[in-house]
Each structure stands twice: as structure tokens, then as C-alpha cells.
Structure 1
Amino acid sequence: MSQYPRDEFDKVPESSVRQGVHRERLIPSRSTGLGLLITVGVLALLIGLAAYFVLPRLGIGAGSGDQSPAAGAPASASASATATAAASATATPTSNTDEDEAEASPSPTAASAPTQTPSPTPTPTVPAIDPTQPVAVFNASGVTGLGAGVSGRMSAAGWSVGAVANWTGAPQQGSGVYYSAPELAANAQAVGAQLGIPVLETPGFTSVTVVLGPGYQ
């Protein structure tokens, strides 16, 4: 019970749902459920808008297997062009191939015939002149000092002079340069050209030998 005296407002039955103007108005319990539904709906709408506009820009949800037809078209076209080129390369007429092989392969006759190169004719070796080989001088002319004079001329020309003496063999009809070894032929020819005497290859002479006959000056 209240400690204040009762007035005209206290005549309202306590079980009545009506309230006085000086008391707080209570919100019915069913209004709370409606507001909660509205709040949940607004949040769901905001989440849907965010998923529709924001997530695609961040690259979330784009599957790796999603490829446009235009992306796969170049690969297919390249594979088709390669297959076509390979098919055209292998589909060569048999007759053309046989003709090419016939032209490329040489005939058995041409392949079996070896090319022969004529061998060069060997050039005879001419012995070189060797002035160090001694030259003997014999005087068969009967003129005193002729052998010494000729040997002096040969030494001045660079020849090595060996024996210088008078001829003691058979009488000579003329002058001559004699030799027997083939390797002395070049020296004999050179000495004969210098002295103006004919050259003869005669056995028995171990070195180039000059014989001064009658009439030699």
C-alpha cells in the first residue's frame, strides 16, 4: 500500500491494462521480435551487396578452370595448323620421291670407276757442283810450266786443285777432261767449260782429271 492518501486516479482497478498518464508506457513484447527481423534483413542485404560488388574486384571466387572460348581458340588453331602441315608433308606422291631418289643416287658404273691421276714423270737428279772436290792437272803438251799456269787459273776460280804434274802415260793427240764416277759429272762439265776442253767419261779416273795435250794454250 502507498503512504499517500488515495485520490481519483486510484479508482482504476489494479488488474486493468490501462495505465495513468504519470506512469511509464510499456512496449508490447511482440514488437521486439519484429525489430530483430528487420535488423537481420538489413544486415543480410548489406552482406549480399558487399559480396556482389567488392569480392569480384579482389579476385575472390574466380575459378581457375573458367576460361573464355577466345582464350582457347589460338591453341586449337595452332594445333590444327601443325597437324595440317604434317599431313601435307607426309602425303608426297610416290612417283616424285622415286624420281628424286633416282636423280640423287649415282649410277653403278660411275661409282665403280675410280678416277686415275696420271703420275708425274720423274725428273732425273743432276748432281750438284762441288768445287771442294780436288782436280788433278797433267801437262802432256811438252810446254814447260803449262800445267802450273792452268792450275793457278783454276784455283783463282775457286776450285780445289790436287796433283799437278807432267803426263807420263801414252802420248795424247789433244786435251781432255776425264772422270769415271757419275757424281763427278757436274764438276767435270764445269771444269771443261771453264778451260774450253771436251769432257769424256773414262774408266780408271778416281777424280776429275785435266790432261793438257799438244797445242793447248
Structure 2
Amino acid sequence: MSKYPSDEFDRVPEYTDRQGVHRLAAGMAPARRGGLWPVLIFGVAAILIGLVAFFLLRPTFGGDQQAAPSPPPSASVSAPASDSASEDPDDESDEASSSPEETAAPGSGEPDTADESEAADLVEETPEADASEDAAADESDGVLDRNLPVGVYNGSGIGGLAGTNTAQLRSAGYSQVVSGNWTRQVEPSVVYYKNDWAATTARDVADQLGIGTIYQTENVPVEISVVLGSAGR
């Protein structure tokens, strides 16, 4: 029997289940081939799931696309018009024959005499309306009444000025005229009156005495009060 030098295959533990290298390799080969099956099964299952999902979801997408466009609302409204036009053509011809006369009336260009007469009446009535407004204004100011009480007050410091103006008013027809001194000296002369209805009489008093300022107030002794100032005297 030949003697060979020891190698790695000769160093085997005393208790071991290890076999030869060639037997171990032969036993591992089927295990490697069997490990591909789970991968193949997973891939086939993924493909089947994708196909099923595609065919299930495809009708939904198609239905949404077909339901998107909607018919215009005018289609349902225009149909009755066409039916009515086709049902009674004679009525349309009658209306067409009568329409020129009706449309020609507004555009005939002839003046409306009734409108012109009304405008003329308005023009004629305008001065009367203005006159009535002026009369109403005069009534609110009152009428000239020289029997109203009038007070003439000297505020100029010039002696005898109130008496002179009092005599002037009496000669003009004023029957109730009194005179006196004002509480303080003033420069411009003013005619005061209390109520609106005394405005006309107050203006006449101012004209009689040559006074250009008229003022309404309730803080005067009598209905019409003349305060004589030093200016222009």
C-alpha cells in the first residue's frame, strides 16, 4: 500500500458529520435550484395582480371620460321654437304683413302735436308759477303795516338824533313810534325786527331813514327797533 503525505482532508475531527467535499457539493446543488422558486412565484403573482387591477380600473376611467361632456342647455329650449314655427306658418305670415305698419309708426318722423301743445302750456304757465312763488314769499315777509310799534334808540352819543328820526317816521305815516337811548354807543345804524311778518315794514323803516342794514332778532324792546349809530351822522 502506497503512502501519501497528509493534507487538509486527513485532518478530520473525531466526532463529526462532515462528508467528503465532492459529496457536500453534490448535496448543495439541489438546494440552490430549489431557492429560485419563491422568486418566480412572487414575480408571477405580481404580474397577475397588475393585470387584474388594470382590467378592473379600466372601465372606471372610460366611464369618467364618456360622462364628462354634457349636452348644451340651449338644445332643449330651441326645440319648442321650431315646433311652434312649423305648426302655424299662416300666423307668421299675418304677423309679417302687419308688422311694417306697426314699426313704421314710431319712425315716421311726424311731430306729435299733443306734446308740442303741452310744452307750450308749460312755457306759458312758468311765469305764473314764478309770480305765485314771489307772492308766497311776500306773504311770509308780511305786508306793510305802519301801525306796528317802532322804537328809535340813540346809540351815537349825538343829542337829539333819536327825536329827529322819530319825527321823520311819524311824518311818513307811522303812528306808534317811541324814542330813547341805547344801552351803549354803536357805529353803524341797524333796523331790527322780531318776526318774519314784520320784515316788509322793517325794510320800509330802513328806507325812510336811509339805513342799509336790517337784522332779525328777538332781543329788542319792540317789534321794530331802530338803533342809530355814529357812522354817517
TM-score when normalising by structure 2: 0.40
TM-score when normalising by structure 1: 0.43
Bigger CA radius of gyration: 1
